[in-house]
Amino acid sequence: MTLTVDYPPHLPDAMHLNREEFEREARLALAAKFFETGRLSSGLAARLAGMERVEFLNRLAQFQVSPMNMPPEELETDLENA
């Protein structure tokens, strides 16, 4: 499935990013917000961001989002699988 977002063509330049970097950052920002608000698990948010779950959890700091923002069930599953 694809999500299309229209943005001004100069926006990536304003952020000192090329188009691919900007779109990757936008996906990560969306995934981080959905994770922060509890709308997505860390695994699904990582898939939305197009990266492995561990990388996603490590990148949350750039958005001031705690990787421990998990429902107790997900945290329990993670601990069981550690």
Distance of CA 75 to the CA centre of its chain: 18
pLDDT at 71 over 70: no
Q: Higher pLDDT residue, 68 or 30?
A: 30
- pLDDT for 12 beyond 70: yes
Percent of the chain with pLDDT over 90: 73
The whole-number pLDDT of residue 13 equals 97
Residue for token digits 């949350």? 60
Mean predicted confidence (pLDDT) in 35-56: 95
Mean pLDDT within 3-20: 95
Mean per-residue pLDDT for 3-26?
95
